[in-house]
Structure 1
Amino acid sequence: MTPHSRRPDRPSTTSPTPNRSPRASTPARAWAELLRLPALFTVPGDALVGAATSGARPDSRTLLAIASSLCLYEAGMALNDWADRTEDALERPHRPLPSGRIRPSAALTAAGALTAAGLALAACAGRPALTVAAPLAATVWAYDLALKRTPAGPAAMATARGLDLLLGATATGGSARPALPAALTLATHTLAVTTVSRGETRGGSPLAPLAALITTGTLAWRLTRTPGASGEAPSRHPAADALHTALTAAFVTTSGRPLLHAALNPSPPLTQRAVGGGIRAMIPLQAALAARSGALTSALLTAALAPAARHFARRVSVT
């Protein structure tokens, strides 16, 4: 999952959404804003990495896991705005709910329907997948309704993202164990980004972006320097190794540069850019984890989602 408690996510991906007139917005655009369309491209990589680290070749069950993840992710987005509608009326009146472009009841209904669809798709992928999807759905709802503003909020978001990767592993290979180190890597990045996101509307201390920057460097070092750092046997395919190195560099650049700026000046705009960069960095991180396991095709498919994410992020806020 992706941090989306307080937005810039959680634009352009680097700035708050302009205050558009509700009359100038179509229903399709309103729903695209509610569901954070650009962030959706960070989801399929979870299942692909899970499948890669399970040692099994992606199949129809992997596709079901991806579909389940997309539904549960979007359920969280809709529920997030429903839970934040009062606060958004003061801080983000242009958002779909406070601006009146989408009714709160419609957002809540969408969240419930998407959750049900996500669980049904996971069940179609098999009992092991449903065993992971159920706590994932519970974590998403608990985060949006109760944990978001508590000290447990970032950890809950990180847990959801890790479970999302394990969903792909269990759907494809039947076991979560081989994918645990990769899930921990993705969860650690999510924890750092979500912690930074808490200062995106009012600014804050430079400590959070600085800690996230250190986390980015540490994860990259473990991926590139330590054999089996992501939990899989190191790839011995030269093409996969080269791709892995390039993707790790892309992860560091995408996440690290805006975090450095936010650490030097933790103003709301720069913090928002840092959160947006952290979200976009999930794609090269996922692709690097897949390449690390030798799954060259999955790595390329995941990396190919980045241009689409950037394209849509210029039109719809990712947070």
Structure 2
Amino acid sequence: MLLRDLVQLVRAPAALSVPGDAVAGAAAADVLGARTAGLAAASVCLYWAGMAANDWADRDLDAVERPERPIPSGRISPDAALGIAGGLTAAGLAIAAVAGGRRALGVAIPLVGAIWAYDVKLKNTPAGPAGMALCRGLDVLLGASPGKVTRALWPALVVASHTYTVTALSRKEVHGAERTLPARTLAATAAIAAAPALGRQRRVSAALGAWYAHRYGRAQAKVLEDPSAANVRASVGAGITALPALQGALTASAGAPVTGAVLAAVAPLARALARKVSPT
């Protein structure tokens, strides 16, 4: 197994979209601090675990639809992928426990359950988008776990809603979509982009929300014009790489505009790395 094979298996650069979940949650709960970095690291491990488990669960389907992926191409064995997924899951839980103690584990354990349930059971069912949305919503709450978790329910709902749109599109990456799908996700994206401006620091949060809407919305508009598989895949990638801008908007909305702006600045880097390693 080469390092590049492992990077492709876990979609390593796509993890740039993950720390912002913990930051947005912590900002909403007013517990943004050193522990947030540890919880963000736990989230990254769990995200990578989910990607490895995804490819392990999809290995037979990928042999037909995506034979270039590490498992069907023979570069990583199914047993190795499952072991990587399990090891990263254990690492994520351990880091969460060290960073946030029992309160963090109280969110991390259900998050792990949601990740594995999505990968092995829900993904190819009508409940798939909701299952992935639940994962991202819980990830935001993990960041808030050192404080009052209920204060982070709003950003968790916003990130979950975004994730629902991305996942709904991702189900059409191979064969293309009907125009009704991007029409619905584009309308949802407009509402999601406006949500952060309801809080504090409205100018900053509104500006970052508009940036998110531009980056992700433009890709969906192309799907609306031409719902081919290539355009759908591009819109999914845009949804993943634009997420830091939304997380930044939510963080600014919670009263941390500088931190929010720093988070949003990750979006261009995520987009550049997506050209080298597919985030989907």
Smaller-chain TM-score bracket: over 0.9
Q: 1:201 and 1:106 mapped to 2: Cα distance?
A: 26
Secondary structure of the residue aligned to 1:161 is: helix
TM-score (norm 2): 0.96
Q: 2:193 and 2:261 mapped to 1: Cα distance?
A: 19
Structure 1 residue 308: Cα displacement? 2.4
Q: Please, what is the CA RMSD of the aligned residues?
A: 1.3
Q: 2:271 and 2:195 mapped to 1: Cα distance?
A: 27
Tell me what 2:143 maps to. Answer: 168
Tell me what 1:180 maps to. Answer: 153
Among candidates 184, 192, 208, match of residue 211 of structure 1: 184
C-alpha distance after superposition, 1:258-307 (max 9, x if no partner): 11111222110111111111111211000000011111232133123223
Q: Is the 8 A contact 1:42 1:279 kept in 2?
A: yes
> Which residue identity does 2:181 align to in structure 1?
A
C-alpha distance after superposition, 1:211-259 (max 9, x if no partner): 11000111223333xx33xxxxx23xxxxx4432321111111110111
Q: Map residues 190-205 of structure 1 onto 2, 5 A cutoff.
A: 190-205=163-178
Tell me what 2:243 maps to. Answer: 282
> Which residue identity does 1:32 align to in structure 2?
V
Q: Map residues 15-30 of structure 1 onto 2, 5 A cutoff.
A: 27-30=2-5
> Which residue identity does 2:160 align to in structure 1?
A
Secondary structure of the residue aligned to 2:223 is: helix
C-alpha distance after superposition, 1:110-165 (max 9, x if no partner): 00011111111111111111000000000000000010001111001000000000
Q: 2:13 and 2:91 mapped to 1: Cα distance?
A: 21
Q: 2:231 and 2:163 mapped to 1: Cα distance?
A: 18
C-alpha distance 306-220 of structure 1, shift in aligned 2 (>3 A): closer
Tell me what 2:59 maps to. Answer: 85
Secondary structure of the residue aligned to 2:31 is: coil
Q: Map residues 63-82 of structure 1 onto 2, 5 A cutoff.
A: 63-82=37-56
Q: Map residues 284-299 of structure 1 onto 2, 5 A cutoff.
A: 284-299=245-260
Matched, 1:131 2:106: yes
Runs of 4+ in 1 over 4 A off after TM superposition: none
Q: Is the 8 A contact 1:42 1:282 kept in 2?
A: yes
Larger mean Cα displacement after TM superposition, 89-98 or 303-312: 303-312
Q: 1:37 and 1:121 mapped to 2: Cα distance?
A: 18
TM-score (norm 1): 0.85
Secondary structure of the residue aligned to 1:160 is: helix
> Which residue identity does 1:202 align to in structure 2?
H
Among candidates 2, 27, 33, match of residue 52 of structure 1: 27
Matched, 1:121 2:95: yes
Q: Is the 8 A contact 2:246 2:264 kept in 1?
A: no
% of aligned pairs identical?
Answer: 49
Q: 1:57 and 1:144 mapped to 2: Cα distance?
A: 31
Matched, 1:147 2:117: no
Among candidates 57, 73, 81, match of residue 99 of structure 1: 73
Tell me what 2:269 maps to. Answer: 308
Structure 1 residue 177: Cα displacement? 0.4
Q: Map residues 26-37 of structure 1 onto 2, 5 A cutoff.
A: 27-37=2-12
Matched, 1:42 2:17: yes
Q: Is the 8 A contact 1:38 1:310 kept in 2?
A: no
Q: Map residues 184-263 of structure 1 onto 2, 5 A cutoff.
A: 184-224=157-197, 227-228=198-199, 234-235=200-201, 241-263=202-224
Matched pairs, number: 279
Q: 1:190 and 1:156 mapped to 2: Cα distance?
A: 10
Q: 1:53 and 1:155 mapped to 2: Cα distance?
A: 23
Secondary structure of the residue aligned to 2:145 is: helix
Q: 2:32 and 2:19 mapped to 1: Cα distance?
A: 15
Unaligned runs of 5+ in 1: 1-25, 229-233, 236-240
Q: Is the 8 A contact 2:39 2:143 kept in 1?
A: yes
Which one has more relative contact order, counting CA pairs under 8 Å at least 6 apart?
1
